[in-house]
Amino acid sequence: MKEGNFPAADFSGKRFLVAEDMEVNREIAAEYLRKTGAAVEFAEEGRRCVEMISLAPAGYYDLVLMDINMPVMNGLEATKRLRQMGFTLPVIAMTANVGDRDRRAALDAGMDAFVEKPVRVEKLFSEIVKCLGG
């Protein structure tokens, strides 16, 4: 993606947790999000994501970008656990599984939005703004 085509977004002061097992996808997400002023942290699998959120002070993370297919604990199970524990922060699914059934499964697990891979940054930022109430 060319720098000139990068959509304008300002997420300064926001902290996002990206749960993604593929390093290249973590790097791409970091590049996109850091250009908006957001702080970004990573979990390589769902269980680690749940652990990081559980151990963080209340309100530390503003939003989670959650891959669906990860080792140890997938994104659906991680989101279900977060919801069972009472965490209400927005969770956006990021996945190559794009059928209606996959979308329903993500929403049924407690995810707030759904972004297809490969991720279009404009769509991602639009969903982030919606989830953050902007």
Domains parsed from the chain with CATH numbers: 14-131 (3.40.50.2300)
In terms of Cβ atoms closer than 10 Å to its own Cβ (0-12, 13-18, 19+), residue 19 is: buried
Predicted local confidence at residue 5, as pLDDT: 57
% of the chain surpassing 70 pLDDT: 94
Q: What is the pLDDT of residues 9-21, one digit of tens each?
A: 999 999 999 999 9
What does the alpha-carbon distance between residue 18 and residue 4 come to, in Å, rounded to a whole number?
25
Q: CB count, 10 Å around CB of 52? A: 17
According to the model, what pLDDT value does residue 119 have? 86
pTM for the model: 0.91
How many CB atoms are located within 10 Å of the residue 134 CB? 9
